[in-house]
Chain A
Amino acid sequence: DAEITQSPRHKITETGRQVTLACHQTWNHNNMFWYRQDLGHGLRLIHYSYGVQDTNKGEVSDGYSVSRSNTEDLPLTLESAASSQTSVYFCASSAGGLSGELFFGEGSRLTVL
């Protein structure tokens, strides 16, 4: 079965360190997204990609970067982790076109001390 997997599921890091969260999908979807989920804020879009070599900033992109070198992967990098980036991060993918359904991973819980 096709799926979307995130790793690590849990990570604790220190302020100032670089962190990369991995996202891998086997749906063969063109569209991939990164969201962060915080209590009271729902899901906020960080970065997204519509295909290989395409990346775009979302509403809360400061301090984050992504790269898309193949269809399956969209890693999210925190260049210099800050305590404000403590959150649960979700990767999602969609087929695009008329189908707007997002398929989510199980999330990565990041704690920045």
Chain B
Amino acid sequence: GEQVEQLPSILRVQEGSSASINCSYEDSASNYFPWYKQEPGENPKLIIDIRSNMERKQIQELIVLLDKKAKRFSLHITDTQPGDSAMYFCAASKGSNAKLTFGKGTKLSVKS
């Protein structure tokens, strides 16, 4: 089945700097790539996603890039704030109403 690799597992940045998380997938049929933010004791929250017909998507300080040829996608958080500290998970799916395959997560810490 599909596998999603996510790096780094731990990321520490200074407030105001950028943070980048990278994911790769194996199945070229994957066509949907969401990102979830999960705070301690909370449920994962969908923060941004990208479909295979796009290469770049931005929502405020969040930027997602997709390189289908390399089978890689990435999340970039610009101007990080302490409130961005959380676990971040990338995922991939193929087809409609399909299961998500998640990466193992990145623990982001933003220090003020």
Are A and B subunits of one complex? no
Binding site for B on A (CB under 8 A): none
Binding site for A on B (CB under 8 A): none
